[in-house]
Amino acid sequence: MSRVVEARRWERIGAHSHIKGLGLKDGKALPVAAGMVGQLQAREAAGIIVSMVKEGKMAGRAVLLAGPPGTGKTALASAIAKELGEDVPFMMITASEIYSAEMKKTEVLMQAMRKAIGVRLKEVRKIYEGMVTDLEIKTGRHPYNPYQQVPIGAKLRLKTSNEERTFNVDETVAQELIVKGVSRGDVIWIDAETGRVTKLGRCTEAPEEVKYDIEAAPRVPLPGGSIAKEREFVHTVTLHDLDETRAQRGSVFTLLFGGREEREIPPEVRQDVDEKVKRWVEEGRAEIIPGVLFIDEVSALDIEAFSFLGRAMEAELAPVIILATNRGVTKVRGTDIVSPHGIPLDLLDRLLIITTREYTEDEVREILKIRAAEEGVQLEEGALSLLVKLGVENSLRYAVQLLTPSLEVAKLRGRDKVSLEDVEEARRLFVDVKQSMAYLKEYEEKMLK
Ligand SMILES: Nc1ncnc2c1ncn2[C@@H]1O[C@H](COP(=O)(O)OP(=O)(O)OP(=O)(O)O)[C@@H](O)[C@H]1O
Ligand SMILES: [Mg+2]
């Protein structure tokens, strides 16, 4: 069921696709930069969080983004993700998601936390590397099907700038060579241990008779040095990836807890993975990269989820947790305790808090312009003014959401550019939250009494 969570994560980022980063210069927020407008203080604070995460000084700590609806909390989180770069894991969930999945809520949270911790694995492998100067696949009869010929081995000649050697390889490598479509003039690697073949591309020094005028494969130079060499490979996976792999292979656990159907991961597996990762780190084969787990609309978490988070934050391997809320003082879900943002006091005590404030009219205008450009919506001045008014009076999110429907209305009326009337029509058709609540209330009163 984690697949469902992943998909949603995509969609949520979509609404903030215009945001390319925090738009900071030497730690100072530029008024309009990287798709970000205003909210200078919060952006600068977020910049400090990013530096601390990158320097590994934030692990196990937590941040709260607090502010009224539509003031850019989720936008800020997306900007943080962009600033962290590809290599630092960033996992985004909405609090209510932990209740909709078919797993225990603490399990969903745990998985999310482990998806937010990266393990950079360094592995030195022995490989054979060179340009293929000769290749002869040997085929034999299939052991059960006499009419079928199968590869049973190959004779292969590899060349570097220093040497040229002939290898006899077994059927596994032969099959790999066929599957990867290796032919004379290709530069390849063969993993000495597993026989796995990697095709790097066509050699710039491929013999004339196998050179083609048009070739799709990338051009690579003739490798230097000797054919047998050691090479370091680096890949980053998450702790959750390792848990999954371990859980599927671990025969006993698979038996006890079921294989792929049941997605919960037994604690023993996680302990096992943790031990292993720690050992790898000690041996210099791995590096831990604590990433960020962002939990949006955190007031929807209940007391159990909060206490789980509080405990998990203390764990040795924990990501940085960023929470966001637009609630003021409210009840902690699952209790009668009233507390700021609906977050239990003991957790609140440990948070660094960043607040976002309401936008000025000019800022709303700027954001709408950026968003319109992103969605490919052209606005006449009157249309923009009405949207700005709606953004200020109703909510920014509502105004942003009306952009595409307004364009659809304009198209129906045979225009490419959105005018004031189109926005008015879109606004008539799609109400905002306040109106919809008022309607429901009225409806309720009429129907139930
Ligand atoms: N400072 C900003 N610069 C550019 N775009 C912004 C900025 N703030 C918000 N936006 C955009 O405005 C829209 C609404 O903002 P967002 O969803 O981030 O608000 P929020 O604080 O998370 O609201 P909520 O409390 O309702 O979740 C989004 O499309 C967002 O990308
Ligand atoms: Mg939000």
> Out of 50-54, 257-261, 279-283, which region has the weakest mean confidence (pLDDT)?
257-261
Q: How far apart are the C-alpha atoms of 59 and 72, rounded to whole Å? A: 24
> Out of 24-28, 201-205, 242-246, 261-265, which region has the weakest mean confidence (pLDDT)?
261-265
Q: How far apart are the C-alpha atoms of 37 and 396, rounded to whole Å? A: 13
**Greatest pairwise CA separation for the chain in angstroms:** 92
Return phi, psi of residue 429, to 5°: -75, -40
Write down the pLDDT at residue 6: 40
298 Cα to the center of ligand 2, angstroms: 10
Token pair recorded at residue 168: 């006899």
Query: What is the helix (H) or strand (E) element at residue 63, kind and residue range?
Result: strand 62-66
Nearest atom of ligand 1 to the alpha carbon of 325: 25
The type of residue at 412 is: L
Strands (E), 90-181: 90-94, 117-141, 149-159, 164-169
Token pair recorded at residue 186: 């290709």
Q: Spell out the long-range contacts of 277-282 with Cβ–Cβ below 8 A and sequence spacing 24 or more.
A: 277/119, 277/239, 277/242, 277/317, 280/119, 280/121
Write down the pLDDT at residue 346: 87
Residues with CB under 6 A from ligand 1: 15-16, 19, 35-39, 67, 69-75, 326, 367, 396-397, 400
> Out of 213-217, 264-268, 420-424, which region has the weakest mean confidence (pLDDT)?
213-217
295 Cα to the center of ligand 2, angstroms: 10
Q: How far apart are the C-alpha atoms of 275 and 263, rounded to whole Å? A: 21
299 Cα to the center of ligand 2, angstroms: 12
Region of 85 on the Ramachandran plot (φ > 0 left; ψ -120 to 50 alpha; else beta):
left
Token pair recorded at residue 334: 């699952």
Write down the pLDDT at residue 8: 40
pLDDT by residue (tens digit) across 5-53?
A: 444 444 333 788 888 999 999 989 999 989 999 999 999 999 999 998 8
Residue 148 to residues 33, 141, 169, 182: CA-CA distances in angstroms?
64, 6, 21, 22
pLDDT by residue (tens digit) across 149-162?
A: 888 889 999 999 99
User: What global pTM score does this model have?
Assistant: 0.74
Q: How far apart are the C-alpha atoms of 75 and 27, rounded to whole Å? A: 18
Nearest atom of ligand 1 to the alpha carbon of 326: 25
The closest residue, in CA terms, to atom 25 on ligand 1 is 69
Token pair 């109106």 is found at 435
**Percentage of the chain with pLDDT > 70?**
90
The closest residue, in CA terms, to atom 24 on ligand 1 is 69
73 Cα to the center of ligand 1, angstroms: 6
Query: Coil, strand, or helix at residue 433?
Result: helix
Domains and CATH numbers, the chain: 2-116+291-355 (3.40.50.300), 123-234 (2.40.50.360), 361-438 (1.10.8.60)
pLDDT by residue (tens digit) across 295-352?
A: 999 988 999 999 999 888 888 788 889 999 998 888 888 889 888 889 998 888 889 9
The closest residue, in CA terms, to atom 18 on ligand 1 is 72
Token pair 């962009």 is found at 82
Q: How far apart are the C-alpha atoms of 334 and 311, rounded to whole Å? A: 18
438 Cα to the center of ligand 2, angstroms: 22
The closest residue, in CA terms, to atom 16 on ligand 1 is 72
Strand 62-66 relative to strand 320-325: parallel, antiparallel, unpaired?
Answer: parallel
Start-end of H helices in 210-354: 239-249, 251-257, 267-282, 303-314, 345-348
Which among 65, 367, 368 is the best mutation to test ligand 1's pocket, defined by most ligand atoms within 8 Å of the CB? 367
Nearest atom of ligand 1 to the alpha carbon of 65: 21
